[in-house]
């Protein structure tokens, strides 16, 4: 690929001759015979196509073009040394490195922190870089090669990606305690129907989110949303602030359900359930760090429902 670049040992020999100003002195410094040093210089000059030294009774002096070559050789060897150190460091099992992971907003808030904490305890030399976005953008980031691994909720996986199910997450219909539907809670078993939900403006996540995909996939056509919010925390806050119903991850409102601030309302004829998936390039092998994080995620979700709901 680089026909005019001599081997490193020949470049080292050229620099030694330059520094010691003679073949004999360079040979003593390098621990080689004069014949070996002379042969290396001759071979390097042939490869370069440049006469590097003028040889005389007083020793070896660089030619004008030789000086240019020698200056470049110093830069080349410095770069080669840096490359060698980087490779040696990367080959160590404990070498510092990073892992960038694209994670949907819901997974980032509910599950990923515990996965990352466990991964860090097991792999303290690896820096985990979180790239939060909605599920559609996660697929794009992995497909474009920005991240080797992503996590999404829902059933849709971007074209060209493989996926692995790491768990199941239930969504529930909740309302503020003051809402008319609050008396139709799980204790009464009355509930609302899917038809009522379709007619009712709900607080929704943004298009492209896994949560919205599940709701619209189950209900089909729905009323114009009462509000659209780009994060799980904003959606949760909007339920109490606006007083309207929403379908949300059960784990995201576990505290509010325990305190009675929100009430879970049963839906009589449908279930909102989604898969939590890891996504990665098709026909590609996950590197060891991504594979280790995937194993942790598989163990960390399971049937991700809130006990007692």
> Given pLDDT bands bounded at 50, 70 and 90, which one contains residue 208?
confident
- Among the residue ranges 90-99, 198-207, 260-269, the one predicted with the least confidence is 90-99
124-154 confidence digits (pLDDT tens): 989 999 998 888 889 889 988 899 999 998 7
**pLDDT at residue number 285:** 77
CB 264 within 8 A of CB 257: yes
Quote the percentage of the chain above a pLDDT of 70.
90
Q: How far is CA 278 from the centre of its chain?
A: 12
Q: What is the mean pLDDT of residues 232-238?
A: 90
**pLDDT at residue number 306:** 35
Domain assignments of the chain as residue spans, ordered by start: 8-91, 97-167+280-304, 168-273
15-72 confidence digits (pLDDT tens): 999 988 889 898 888 889 999 999 999 999 999 999 999 887 778 889 999 899 999 9
On the question of pLDDT at 159 being above 80, the answer is: no
On the question of pLDDT at 173 being above 90, the answer is: yes
Residue of 91 and 195 predicted with greater confidence: 195
On the question of pLDDT at 201 being above 90, the answer is: yes
**pLDDT at residue number 206:** 87
On the question of pLDDT at 301 being above 70, the answer is: no
**pLDDT at residue number 309:** 32
**pLDDT at residue number 257:** 93
In this chain, the answer to whether the domains covering 8-91 and 97-167+280-304 adopt an identical fold is: no
Distance CA(277)–CA(150), nearest Å, equals 8
Distance CA(3)–CA(10), nearest Å, equals 14
Distance CA(99)–CA(12), nearest Å, equals 38
| Residue that is written with structure tokens 């621990």 in the block | 31
Which of 3.40.630.30, 1.10.10.10, 3.40.50.2300, 1.10.490.20 is the CATH number of 8-91?
1.10.10.10
On the question of pLDDT at 308 being above 50, the answer is: no
Domain 168-273 has CATH 3.40.190.290: yes
According to CATH, the topology of domain 97-167+280-304 is D-Maltodextrin-Binding Protein; domain 2 (3.40.190)
- Among the residue ranges 92-101, 192-201, 247-256, 257-266, the one predicted with the least confidence is 92-101
The rounded mean pLDDT for the chain is 86
DSSP 30: H
Max intra-chain CA distance, the chain: 108
DSSP 180: G
Query: Which of 68, 7, 66, 61 is CA-nearest to residue 39?
Result: 7
């Amino acid at each position: 690929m680089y026909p005019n670049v001599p081997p490193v040992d020949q470049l080292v020999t050229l620099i030694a001759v330059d520094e010691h100003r003679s073949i004999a002195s360079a040979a003593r410094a390098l621990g080689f015979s004069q014949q070996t040093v002379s042969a290396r210089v001759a071979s390097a000059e042939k490869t370069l196509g440049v006469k590097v030294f003028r040889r005389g009774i007083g020793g070896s002096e660089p030619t004008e073009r030789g000086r240019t070559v020698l200056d470049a050789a110093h830069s080349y060897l410095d770069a080669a040394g840096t490359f060698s150190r980087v490779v040696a460091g990367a080959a160590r099992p404990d070498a510092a490195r990073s892992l960038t992971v694209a994670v949907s907003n819901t997974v980032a808030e509910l599950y990923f922190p515990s996965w990352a904490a466990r991964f860090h305890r097991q792999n303290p030399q690896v820096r985990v870089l979180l790239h939060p976005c909605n599920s559609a953008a996660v697929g794009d980031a992995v497909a474009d090669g920005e991240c080797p691994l992503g996590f999404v909720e829902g059933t849709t996986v971007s074209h060209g990606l493989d996926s692995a199910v790491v768990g199941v997450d239930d969504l529930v219909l909740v309302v503020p305690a003051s809402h008319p539907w609050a008396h139709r809670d799980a204790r009464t078993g009355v509930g609302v129907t899917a038809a009522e939900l379709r007619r009712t403006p709900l607080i929704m996540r943004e298009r492209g989110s896994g949560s919205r995909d599940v709701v619209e996939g189950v209900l089909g056509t729905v009323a114009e949303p009462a509000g659209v919010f780009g994060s799980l925390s904003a959606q949760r806050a909007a339920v109490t602030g606006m007083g309207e119903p929403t379908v949300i991850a059960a784990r995201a409102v576990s505290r509010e359900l325990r305190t009675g601030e929100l009430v879970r309302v049963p839906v009589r004829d449908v279930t909102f359930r989604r898969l939590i998936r890891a996504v990665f390039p098709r026909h590609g092998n996950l590197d060891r760090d991504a594979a280790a994080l995937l194993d942790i995620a598989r163990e960390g979700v399971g049937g991700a429902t809130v006990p007692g709901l």
